[in-house]
């Protein structure tokens, strides 16, 4: 009987420790900073900040589910949009994503330049990601 009590106590302490220490960064307030390209040059301006927890989680979920290709790409023109996940009150280095709208306006292409990763998303995922990041329908782009 004594061994069971010790086992339960130990299990409880370990559980509390794991819950408290897991995903510390996940609990920090995170937002997405979106920038759009100005003109035809490689210049960007702040466009939007996405601070809604559910929207940030959805974008993270989409990006985590992607089967990225390891490729160093050289696009014909600068990205239409850039977005960065940032933590409030943190100096942690953020990963920058670049987003291109396909000529047919039905898909987006993403690049993580620092990691040499590339993907062209399917139509539905492209539309969903674009709607969250830009706040407009992908098909409505000029």
Span 79-92, average pLDDT = 83
Q: Is residue 109 part of a domain?
A: yes
For 24, residues 6+ apart whose C-beta sits below 8 A from its C-beta are: none
16, part of any domain? no
Average pLDDT over residues 100-120: 94
Q: Does some domain include residue 22? A: no
Residue 5 belongs to some domain of the structure: no
Look at residue 3 and tell me if it is in a domain.
Answer: no
CA separation for the pair 86, 127 (Å, rounded)? 23
72 located within any domain: yes
* 23 assigned to some structural domain: no
The yes-or-no verdict on residue 27 having pLDDT over 50 is: no
**What per-residue confidence (pLDDT) applies to 139?**
86
Give me 100's structure tokens.
Answer: 């291109």
Q: Does any domain span residue 55?
A: yes
List the domain range (segments joined by +) for residue 97: 28-140
> CA-CA distance, 117 to 113, in Å (whole number)?
6
Structural domains in the chain (count) = 1
pLDDT in tens, 41-83: 899 999 999 999 999 999 999 999 999 999 988 999 999 999 9
> CB atoms < 10 A from the CB of 121, how many?
19
| Model confidence band, residue 94 (pLDDT cutoffs 50, 70, 90) | confident
User: What is the pTM (predicted TM-score) of this model?
Assistant: 0.76
Determine the pLDDT at residue 7. 52
pLDDT at residue number 140: 87
Residue 82 maps to which CATH number?
2.60.40.4400
CA 126 to chain centre: 13
């Amino acid at each position: 009987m004594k061994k069971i009590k010790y086992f339960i106590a130990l299990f409880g302490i370990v559980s509390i420790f794991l819950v408290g220490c897991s995903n510390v960064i996940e609990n920090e307030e995170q937002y997405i900073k979106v920038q759009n390209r100005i003109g035809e040059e490689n210049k960007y301006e702040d466009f939007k900040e996405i601070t809604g927890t559910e929207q940030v989680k959805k974008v993270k979920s989409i990006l985590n589910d992607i089967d990225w290709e390891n490729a160093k790409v050289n696009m014909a023109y600068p990205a239409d949009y850039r977005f960065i996940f940032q933590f409030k009150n943190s100096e942690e280095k953020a990963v920058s994503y670049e987003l291109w709208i396909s000529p047919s306006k039905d898909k987006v292409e993403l690049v993580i330049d620092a990691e040499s990763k590339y993907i062209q998303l399917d139509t539905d995922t492209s539309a969903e990601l674009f709607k969250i990041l830009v706040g407009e329908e992908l098909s409505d782009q000029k």
